[in-house]
Amino acid sequence: MNRRLLDYMPVMEIPDQPGLADAGETARLDDESEMVLGAQLLEVRNPAQLDLFLSGLVADTGAGAAALSGTPLGGALLQALRRAALAVLPIRGAPAEALKNRAATIFGLELEGLSPEDKEFELARHLVRFAGAVAGDVANNVAKSSRAGGDRPRRQVQAALLDAARSHAPGLLGLGQVRLRGRPGAGRWQRQGSHIVVLDG
């Protein structure tokens, strides 16, 4: 499988907010789902595919996921997950040292001894785990409250991001002092042959 991508690592900001739900109440993807979704994530080549992937991931997590579609809360959730993904993507074909550093910095992983393909897969799987935790937290909170609107959707999503980052991606917390430039989701990149070309961001 051809795995050559440009190393591109923007940073997201996660404001400190109280949690939405106890960890025991939050839906989590099982190991099999993480593996399947991780493999799918490695096939993402452009923002449209990333949005489609994230929408599918959200739909698979939490009893209230269906209620998020077309709501301000659902939009804020997808926007936040997109930013989190762009802190890790592209994964496929990134230099081994970049993968190692990214894994250690964001997820606290040690990938010594793994093949380049296994390193890529572990990064993708951990990103899926983090995103699934965020989406499950938000969806379950919606299921309990029976409403997906709310007057502060961004705050609800930020709280879920903080909770999930503490458990699954602690490195994102340390990068919170740097803002992602441009409009949310404005970064554009696409595959051209064996390379990823960053159009803006």
**What share of the chain in percent tops pLDDT 70?**
66
Confidence of residue 53 (pLDDT cuts 50, 70, 90): very high
Q: Does residue 164 contact residue 130 with C-beta atoms inside 8 Å?
A: yes
pLDDT digits (tens, 9 = 90+) for 130-168: 999 999 888 877 766 655 555 578 888 888 888 888 888
Q: Which position has the higher pLDDT, 88 or 23?
A: 88
Phi, psi of 191, deg, nearest 5 = -80, 135
pLDDT at 82 over 70: yes
> Does the residue 5 lie in any domain?
no
pLDDT of residue 22 exceeding 50, the answer is no
Find residue 28's DSSP bridge partners: none
Whole-prediction pTM: 0.70
Residue 15 lies in a domain: no
Q: Could you write out the three-class secondary structure of 40-51?
A: HHCCCCCHHHHH
How many structural domains compose the chain? 1
In a domain, 139, yes or no: yes
Comparing 19-28, 96-105, 145-154, which segment has the lowest mean pLDDT?
19-28
Average pLDDT estimate for 189-199: 46
**Does residue 74 lie in a domain region?**
yes
pLDDT at 201 over 60: no
Give the least confident one: 18-32, 91-105, 155-169, 182-196. Answer: 182-196
In a domain, 35, yes or no: yes
Q: Is the pLDDT of residue 2 over 50?
A: no
Average model confidence (pLDDT) across the chain: 72
**Radius of gyration of the chain from Cα atoms?**
16
pLDDT for the residue 107: 85
In a domain, 11, yes or no: no
What domain range is 106 assigned to? 23-200
Higher pLDDT, 152 or 18: 152
Q: What are the residues facing 200 on neighbouring strands?
A: 188
3 within a domain of the structure (yes/no): no
Q: Does some domain include residue 60?
A: yes
